[in-house]
């Protein structure tokens, strides 16, 4: 698990950023969930976070964002039903509040502003990307915590890349960039779209990093909805201020 930790992308002494990989299913709803809690415990023990403190959301491919505090510790840690409802991005300015997003091809976006010590993680599939979830998350971080946009660090976790993400022609109505046409087919580049949205907002290009892992490529070592179908498991992307 976590053989390519997010610390390889951007590392800061004040935070823990990691993502899991196969075969350990972190979902309590999708795939084989019989050992999901045990897998969570092993993974979180390995990165120094109490697994029962985890805060997760019932993700619905929206642009809804929730500010999280210590009062929310454990929501979604031990059961899906207890997770924060209808939310696709989590923000906190408190220490020792681990935020988690579950994915299997969608893009996880890690955010950290080291001066104000504010962390966030967002679930950016194509629908949430169309709804500008990364920009809205950052604007909420500014509104709630007055973060400095010039100091904001961004990390893109594993996701399906344009090499594998074939979409229909109707996507031309959703995105005016980030679509690649090859041999009469269209392929979506989630990272490129989200990167442009961030830069357009004012995030420094040099503060944005991508792990460059395609979850849908054969033998990627990560769960993939596109490759495996709706019953596949999920990886988790987690960020916590120490």
Per-residue pLDDT of the chain (242 residues; tens, 9 = 90+): 444 445 445 677 799 999 999 999 999 999 999 999 999 999 999 999 999 999 999 999 999 999 999 999 999 999 999 999 999 999 999 999 999 999 999 999 999 999 999 999 999 999 999 999 999 999 999 999 999 999 999 999 999 999 999 999 999 999 999 999 999 999 999 999 999 999 999 999 989 989 999 999 998 999 999 999 989 999 999 999 99
Give residue 2's pLDDT: 41
Q: 207: domain range?
A: 6-159+191-241
Q: Are 166 and 184 in contact (CB under 8 A)?
A: no
In a domain, 12, yes or no: yes
Dihedral class, residue 87 (left if φ above 0, else alpha if ψ from -120 to 50, else beta):
beta
Give residue 64's pLDDT: 97
Distance of CA 74 to the CA centre of its chain: 18
DSSP letter, residue 86: S
In a domain, 32, yes or no: yes
Distance of CA 92 to the CA centre of its chain: 15
Strand ranges, E, within 79-227: 89-92, 99-103, 107-113, 118-124, 153-156, 166-167, 179-182, 185-188, 208-210
What's the structural domain count of the chain? Answer: 1
Closest CA to 9 of 202, 152, 210, 193: 210
CA distance 68 to 92: 5
DSSP three-state, residue 191 = helix
φ, ψ of residue 44 to 5 degrees: the values are: -70, -35
Mean pLDDT of the chain: 94
Q: Give the number of C-alpha atoms closer than 13 A to the C-alpha of residue 158, restricted to the C-beta side.
A: 31
Report the alpha-carbon angle 235-41-72, nearest 5.
Answer: 80
Structure tokens at 55: 């805060």
In a domain, 122, yes or no: yes
Q: Are 111 and 122 in contact (CB under 8 A)?
A: yes
Give residue 13's pLDDT: 79
In a domain, 40, yes or no: yes
Task: Kindly report the pTM of this predicted structure.
Answer: 0.95
In a domain, 170, yes or no: no
Give residue 69's pLDDT: 98
In a domain, 198, yes or no: yes
CATH no. for residue 60?
Answer: 3.60.140.10
In a domain, 95, yes or no: yes
In a domain, 182, yes or no: no
Give residue 34's pLDDT: 96
Q: pLDDT digit string (tens) for 101-136?
A: 999 999 999 999 999 999 999 999 999 999 999 999
Dihedral class, residue 128 (left if φ above 0, else alpha if ψ from -120 to 50, else beta):
alpha
Burial of 177 (0-12, 13-18, 19+ CB in 10 A): exposed
Dihedral class, residue 92 (left if φ above 0, else alpha if ψ from -120 to 50, else beta):
beta
């Amino acid at each position: 698990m976590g053989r390519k930790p997010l610390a390889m992308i951007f590392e800061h002494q004040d935070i823990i950023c990691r993502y899991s990989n196969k075969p350990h299913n972190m979902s309590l709803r999708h795939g084989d969930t019989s050992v999901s809690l045990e897998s969570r415990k092993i993974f979180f023990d390995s990165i120094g976070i109490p697994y029962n403190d985890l805060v997760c959301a019932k993700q619905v491919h929206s642009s809804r964002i929730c500010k999280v505090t210590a009062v929310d510790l454990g929501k979604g840690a031990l059961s899906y039903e207890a997770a924060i409802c209808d939310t696709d991005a989590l923000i906190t300015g408190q220490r020792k509040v681990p935020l988690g997003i579950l994915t299997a091809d969608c893009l996880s976006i890690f955010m950290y502003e080291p001066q104000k010590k504010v962390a966030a993680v967002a679930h950016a599939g194509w629908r949430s990307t169309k709804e500008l979830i990364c920009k809205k998350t950052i604007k909420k971080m500014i509104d709630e915590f007055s973060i400095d946009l010039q100091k904001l660090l961004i990390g893109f976790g594993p996701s399906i890349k344009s090499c594998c993400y074939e979409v229909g022609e109707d996507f031309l109505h959703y995105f005016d960039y980030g679509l690649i046409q090859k041999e009469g087919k269209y392929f979506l580049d989630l990272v490129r779209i989200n990167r442009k949205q961030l830069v357009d907002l004012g995030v420094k290009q040099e503060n944005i990093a991508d792990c460059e892992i395609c979850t849908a490529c054969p033998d990627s070592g990560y769960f993939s909805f596109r490759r495996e179908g709706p019953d596949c498991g999920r990886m988790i992307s987690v960020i916590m201020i120490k």
